[in-house]
Structure 1
């Protein structure tokens, strides 16, 4: 009872018809940029050591 390849192709065709290829391409590049920015900030956060504060 899974989704077959033909059903996936039909859904893909409907999405392309609704949004157009330019909008989907822009959405993909925006999503990729957001993910790479998130990874970069996570790596930068690991490189810096946390500041230890002493409680008085």
Structure 2
């Protein structure tokens, strides 16, 4: 009790008559843009995860320079 090729062709013709080719083209391009955005988001997510694992190594290297620039507030006296 499945669909045959003839059923699918009739179904597609009815869909084209109802929506029109321009509307179907817009729906197709919107769907393609959504899939592309999803793939880019997934790729950015893996890049961010790799950056997050590399971030502690960068903070350790900059800790020495940050200590030289730190001002001890309690040791400073007002004149």
Equivalences, count: 51
Unpaired stretches in structure 1, ≥5 consecutive residues? 52-56
Runs of 4+ deviating beyond 6 Å:
none
Unpaired stretches in structure 2, ≥5 consecutive residues? 54-79
Q: How large is the Cα RMSD of the aligned pairs? A: 1.2
- Cα separation, 2, equivalents of 1:28 and 1:18: 16
User: TM-score under structure 1 normalisation?
Assistant: 0.84
The one of the two structures with greater contact order (alpha-carbon pairs below 8 A, sep at least 6) is: 1
Greater C-alpha Rg: 2
More helix by share: 2
